[in-house]
Amino acid sequence: MANNKLPTDIPVQLSSNQVRSVAIIGGGASGSIVLDSLVQEDHIKSITLFERRQEFGGIWNFDPEVKKTPHDIIKPGFTHDKTDPQLQNPFNSHLSDKKRFIFQKRSTQERFEETPSYKGIKTNVIQDVMTFSDLDKWEVPGITDPEKTVYVEGLVVRDYIDKYIQRNTGNEKVSVIKGTSVEDVERIHREDAQEGEIDYQFKLTLRQPVNEEHEVWWQEVYDSVVVATGHYFVPYIPFVKGLETVQKLAPEIVHHAKYYRDRAHYKGDSVVVVGSRASGADLSKYLADSANNVYHSIRTLANTRVRTKKSNVTQKPLIKEFKILSKEGEKLNFKVIFEDDSEVSNPDHIVYATGYQFSFPFLNRLLAENGRDVTKEGALIQNLYQHTFLIDEPLISFVGMPIDGISFRVFEYQAVLVARYLAGKIALPTRADQKKWYADRLDFKGLTRGFHTLGLEAPEYLKGLTELGYVDTTKVAVGRPFPVLTEENIRRVKEFGQKLVDNWDDR
């Protein structure tokens, strides 16, 4: 049952024996709940979680010292294929010579491991749903009143994720490997496939630093792969006329928000912040306490809910051009021209809080076999049903890709669904129906990150996942149950969400 022969007109269901071993890629929030959900499925005998950093927690880790924005890589309009290409797999070259381990000079290619967390970052989703259902309170030393931990600092979230993973590390079927990145996933023939089963597994090529100069590569085989890497690592700066010239002539002026750490660096300066989502609003607010003037460039002023009201912050529309006037020694003389033809001359800093691109370089070669990129220009994951299942690759799942959902609770629903599917307890719709869902979503949202954005759709989306993952428990035993999203949960999300908007400067 090779991949290109999968039928399109029958439901997709795995046998209970198809998946015995699973690799989870990523040790952040989504990876932690996938691990817990898989552990509770008896059919799955071996689970390995790979985390490329030396600590769990994903984007909630804080790297106090980071490099400056690498302008040689992050250029205006560059998509993930240029900024985050796949590394050469030494096992697919003359270098391997059938070796099990390959030691070689450490790669210098940028892999964007640093997180975007900055000093003072706090959650903006209430703890009721920012946590998982069986551990639904943050642990803040000295504070026991849940109303005082509605929002918490980033390191509290990091510690929560670490604790959630650690509770499963003693399980005999769990392996956790830190400091290791998955660099390639390829299909290999499965000799013991039974009638009607998919006749391949996945060989993962793994890379781990040995010291400052060298690294080791090796390979492991798994029946299934769950991608839980998140999507806040590969920065994106949109194309604007003249911006690349500013980058080239005065690279210290242009930054991506990923590399922001502390407002002190901007003291007394003039700053343009680009981006209308929460990070742009956050940075505008923080920088206003240090900079003399902040100009916040927002795509649609009338539709932007979250913005600071501080007196030294001026809202502006999109930037249409950077106009270079002259270069005298180290001093660049230029103008930022906005769509309303207003101008700002010679700002000291331009901070792009314009988000990130979906990038999964370890899948590039695998999915290229089907003539398809993993993502569409970094904006969305192609052929992904319910933001979770690769339609043409039934043994690869994604958890944690939805944006602006009900946070960790969305990941929990996805993880339970994936665990039941991999254990052979539920069927997915036909591939034809899955493709229709994808096509309808694409028509509705377009080729934008909005494709994976839930927002107010979240409750209905979670209801759909529950229906898709329904199991008659009088006939079949299940592991982890779906959480229950109550009307009170939804009410509090809306209530506190509005309070957050109304009191943005005070949070």
Angle subtended at Cα 336 by Cα 331 and Cα 337, rounded to the nearest 5 degrees: 150
Question: In terms of domains, do 261 and 214 share one?
Answer: no
Residue in the block written with tokens 């254990």: 423
Exposure on the CB side of residue 162, measured as CA atoms within 13 A: 16
Which one, of 395, 426, 388, lies nearest residue 23 by Cα?
395
> Distance (Å, rounded) from C-alpha 349 to C-alpha 117?
19
pLDDT over 90 percentage in the chain = 82
Model confidence band, residue 3 (pLDDT cutoffs 50, 70, 90): very low
What is the 8-class DSSP label of residue 291? S
* Across 245-272, average pLDDT: 95
Where a domain ends, among 299, 321, 354?
A: 354
> What are 449-464's pLDDT values in tens digits?
899 999 889 999 999 9
Does residue 447 sit within a domain?
Answer: yes
Domain count, the chain: 2
Average pLDDT taken over every residue of the chain: 93
Region of 314 (left: φ > 0; alpha: ψ -120 to 50; beta: rest) is beta
Does residue 503 sit within a domain?
Answer: no
pLDDT at residue number 2: 43
360 with 204: CB under 8 angstroms?
Answer: no
Question: In terms of domains, do 230 and 241 share one?
Answer: no
Model confidence band, residue 329 (pLDDT cutoffs 50, 70, 90): confident
> What are 393-422's pLDDT values in tens digits?
999 999 999 998 888 999 999 999 999 999
Question: In terms of domains, do 307 and 406 share one?
Answer: no
Question: In terms of domains, do 272 and 226 share one?
Answer: no
- Kindly tell me the sign of the dihedral angle through the C-alpha atoms of 94, 100, 106, 108: positive
* Burial per residue of 64-92, b for 16 or more beta-carbon CB atoms within 10 angstroms, e otherwise: eeeeebebeebbbebbbbebbebbebbbe
Please tell me whether residue 449 adopts helix, strand or coil conformation. helix
Question: In terms of domains, do 193 and 213 share one?
Answer: yes
Strand partners, 335: 323, 345
293 with 270: CB under 8 angstroms?
Answer: yes
pLDDT at residue number 405: 82
The boundaries of the domain holding residue 280 are 237-354
**Which pTM was predicted?**
0.95
* Burial per residue of 12-31, b for 16 or more beta-carbon CB atoms within 10 angstroms, e otherwise: bebebebbbbbbbbbbbbbb
CA distances from 462 to 437, 466, 467 (A): 15, 6, 9
Exposure on the CB side of residue 144, measured as CA atoms within 13 A: 0
437 by Cβ neighbours in 10 Å (0-12 / 13-18 / 19+) ranks as: middle
> What are 133-179's pLDDT values in tens digits?
999 999 998 888 888 899 999 999 999 999 999 999 999 999 999 99
Residue 302 predicted with pLDDT over 90: no
CA distances from 258 to 78, 282, 350 (A): 16, 13, 13
Residue 1 predicted with pLDDT over 60: no
Which one, of 259, 309, 235, 227, lies nearest residue 501 by Cα?
309
Question: In terms of domains, do 229 and 245 share one?
Answer: no
> Distance (Å, rounded) from C-alpha 343 to C-alpha 336?
5
pLDDT at residue number 98: 66
Question: In terms of domains, do 442 and 472 share one?
Answer: yes
Does residue 122 sit within a domain?
Answer: yes
> Distance (Å, rounded) from C-alpha 255 to C-alpha 259?
7
296 with 279: CB under 8 angstroms?
Answer: no
HEC states along 380-404? Answer: EECCEECCCEECCCCCEEECCCCEC
CA distances from 15 to 37, 76, 390, 444, 487 (A): 18, 47, 18, 34, 36
245 with 324: CB under 8 angstroms?
Answer: yes
> Distance (Å, rounded) from C-alpha 76 to C-alpha 243?
7
Question: In terms of domains, do 336 and 388 share one?
Answer: no
Question: In terms of domains, do 65 and 182 share one?
Answer: yes
pLDDT at residue number 95: 56
Residue 99 predicted with pLDDT over 80: no
Does residue 4 sit within a domain?
Answer: no
Question: In terms of domains, do 117 and 201 share one?
Answer: yes
Question: In terms of domains, do 215 and 241 share one?
Answer: no
Lowest mean pLDDT across 105-114, 251-260, 365-374: 365-374
| Cα Rg of the chain (Å, integer) | 24
Which one, of 235, 311, 304, lies nearest residue 78 by Cα?
235
Angle subtended at Cα 492 by Cα 486 and Cα 497, rounded to the nearest 5 degrees: 135
Question: In terms of domains, do 326 and 421 share one?
Answer: no
Please tell me whether residue 47 adopts helix, strand or coil conformation. strand
Q: What is the CATH number of the domain that holds 134?
A: 3.50.50.60
Model confidence band, residue 129 (pLDDT cutoffs 50, 70, 90): very high
Token reading at 201: 């597994």
> Distance (Å, rounded) from C-alpha 108 to C-alpha 100?
23
Where a domain ends, among 354, 386, 405?
A: 354
